[in-house]
Structure 1
């Protein structure tokens, strides 16, 4: 078993302990509060990569050199995976907390601030339309964009986990019980955690022993 100095089990630098989202804290972070329809999970759409390209083009046109990185993440970024018909994008800017330096230009391009989470790596969420997109804004050095890319790449190359994840998403959505995206995420969090642990353990650059939940 790999271990850190002192005999502690080794953990990957991107590892996080299992926990469910605090729905009260999530609600407090929302800028826009409005009724939502039940969560819908649809068949894979071959047009999703092109939809991401359009969102990325708009972000770069609006912010120019302030775009330090942009990536297609989430289920629409894994070919063959059922997903909510929303393009998830990670955007890295110099300082998410300095909203006047980037938010007005994104608003002028049609994006709207929906979530502000200073305690979560200064995460902001802006929503775009046509195509519908959730753009997650982080700063340099944030771990969450790297975790998202790791998860995406694992699902792209591991058919069994991709199938299991897709089946679970369909079963949860079929209940027609969830209108809140974070409540839906909590229902599938156990499998997301397990997939992350497998992906982290497979990284040859960092020893990692899976941790119990």
Structure 2
């Protein structure tokens, strides 16, 4: 069963408990880069590699891969990390997809079984334009999937919300943070504001 984790800040204890190994720390400011036109190509390359491995392995049938996060929105400043979303029937069935993706450099970094069975697989040394990738794994029909895609599409199409989110990111990046998750959680208020407008717009 999913709780309200997506709409409230995670505690330090929750951040540490979800991480396999040390949680991602910042202990300072977050480094953003201006949008890099190479990012979509990096995503396409990784998505093709992931799709091929899953097809060969016979697991995660009917999967879907999406480019999400700030690197998926042209013109938006972002951390040089390619965020992707892998939609499968059951993220808790790691045997169905993790072994295949380990072959191409992905390892499980975050496990949140109480929140839609969310997993994050991470790959390092990705590309000169983006040092790493985060592969979020969620089930089909999950509200968080709809939320992530609606937010991405709103930023791609609406100049005002695109600019608002860019200003918010830059302002928060200049503050001091302990964990990367703290920075992400600090954006929740403006994210929910933008999502509310997107829902009203249909």
Q: TM-score over 0.5 for the alignment?
A: yes
Question: Residues 59-208 of structure 1: matches in 2 within 5 Å?
Answer: 59-64=50-55, 66=60, 68-129=63-124, 130-131=126-127, 132-175=132-175, 177-203=176-202
Q: Would the aligned equivalents of 1:59 and 1:106 in 2 still touch at CA under 8 Å?
A: yes
Q: Would the aligned equivalents of 1:56 and 1:70 in 2 still touch at CA under 8 Å?
A: yes
In structure 2, what is the Cα distance between the partners aligned to 1:128 and 1:102? 15
Q: How many residues align?
A: 187
Corresponding position: 1:58 with 2:49 = yes
TM-score w.r.t. structure 2 length? Answer: 0.85
Larger Rg over CA atoms: 1
Q: After superposition, what is the alpha-carbon deviation per residue over 1:26-80, rounded to whole angstroms, capped at 9, x for unaligned?
A: 2211112156444211101111111110110121121116351110011111101
Structure with greater strand share of residues: 2
Corresponding position: 1:28 with 2:17 = yes
Q: CA RMSD in A?
A: 1.9
Moved over 4 A (4+): none
In structure 1, what is the Cα distance between the partners aligned to 2:53 and 2:177? 34
In structure 2, what is the Cα distance between the partners aligned to 1:34 and 1:114? 9
C-alpha displacement of 1:179? 4.7
Ranges in structure 2 where 5+ consecutive residues have no aligned partner: none
TM-score w.r.t. structure 1 length? Answer: 0.81
Ranges in structure 1 where 5+ consecutive residues have no aligned partner: 1-15, 204-213
